[in-house]
Amino acid sequence: MLTMLIINVFVLFLGSIFIWLPQITTLPIILGFDIDGALVTGVGQFKTLATTFWPWLYVFYGLLVLLGYFSIKQVIKFFLGSRAP
């Protein structure tokens, strides 16, 4: 109960800070090009292909890991600025 209260308060606090920001459910349409639809279709077709050409799946996972790593680096740089290592 107390733990849940703390978690709830924390989530409520974070949520109330950002509540004024618009909610994003899909990627934008730029110059008439539906990025979200294109990605969903493309990734879906890639994964369908990867069920047969399975090595590509692990290449995909590897790229995801690298993407995560470099994203974290960019976030650290954003918050620490020139103090980032």
Query: What six digits make up the tokens of 26?
Result: 């899909």
> Rounded to the nearest whole angstrom, what is the least distance from the CB of residue 73 to other proteins in the complex?
8
User: Taking CB under 8 A as the rule, which mask of x and - marks residues 1-30 in contact with other proteins?
Assistant: xxxx--xx--x--xx--xx-xxxxxxxx--
DSSP state of 83: G
Q: Is 69 in the site for other proteins (CB under 8 A)?
A: yes
Confirm or reject binding of residue 31 to other proteins (CB under 8 A).
no
Please select the residue that binds other proteins; options are 29, 59, 77, 80, rule is CB under 8 A.
Answer: 59
Residues 6+ apart with CB under 8 A from 46: 56, 60
* Binder among 29, 43, 77, 80 for other proteins (CB under 8 A): 43
C-alpha span between 77 and 65 (Å, rounded) = 19
Contact 35, 27 (CB under 8 A): yes
Q: Is 34 helix (H, G, I), strand (E, B) or coil?
A: strand
In the numeric block, which tokens belong to residue 47? 């994964």
Which stretches of the chain bind other proteins, using CB under 8 A? Answer: 1-4, 7-8, 11, 14-15, 18-19, 21-28, 36, 39-41, 43-45, 47-52, 54-55, 57-59, 61-62, 64-66, 69, 71, 73, 85
